[in-house]
Structure 1
Amino acid sequence: MTSKMKMGSAAIALAFALSGCTAPSQKSVADMQSCKADNQMQQTTLFFGLSRPAGKDITAQEWQQFVDNDVTPRFKDGLTVFDARGQWLGNNGTVAREQSKALMLIHGKDAQSESNIEALRGVYKSRFAQESVMRVDQPVCVQF
């Protein structure tokens, strides 16, 4: 595949990925307006790459230690982890493909949650030499 074809494919993939970043539909706005105040929460999904720029991939044990020692103390009410496979355009202009983890958190829209989420992103980037940890936020109506 030529360089131009690769860049075109990457641009199409990025456009497709970002297509979910549009304004909420009228239905979702209406759904949130009909959601009881006690059920309105925030969903944050963080995407963590498992490849290091140099050296071995992040192991299952290292990931679990991060969840146990860094995530769980900040989000004791619960969380969900998904295995994923992703790709993204690195700062060096190369498309990176790697195994990943997606961490979904349901939380209140408050300063403490915001601080905890940003702390997780910072800890992970620092500990595992990552360029970024992608964050996606959306309002949700939750019932238990």
Structure 2
Amino acid sequence: MSDYTIYSDDANKVRRLMSAYQASVKCEYVVLCHRDGNIIAEVGSLGSDLDATPLAVLSIAAFDSSRQIGVMLGGEKFQSVSFTGENRSVYISPVDRSLLLVQVFNGGRLPNRIDDFNRLLVEKLEDAVPAFTQNTSSLVR
């Protein structure tokens, strides 16, 4: 579990930022999760057939394993992981070192310039909630 507290005002800021982002990029679902698997905030819906917690945990594992591949190939700063399928696509990116932002899109394509839009959201989240960048959790990898 993370060792910082998110106050209700901060949680509301996060949800507002994520909701505006969701509408602007036409994302089905966005979840902000800690690397320990805890969900911090979510907007949108995956429907009744999908549970967000396993999605968050598997996204963390996918990001971390892909990051290790990047390190093996000489990359030090891994920016994102994406998966495209027939019905849904997923984009996963870090928010500082202890959080991940997981975005689910309808269809088999990610939006154009998703990296740019995502980077802006991450910057806004870090500005809105300083605790995101001041985390000293022993679980930070």
Per the normalisation by structure 2, the TM-score is 0.33
Greater strand share, structure number: 1
Q: Greater Rg, structure 1 or structure 2?
A: 1
Compare relative contact order (CA 8 Å, sep 6+) and give the higher one, 1 or 2: 1
Per the normalisation by structure 1, the TM-score is 0.33
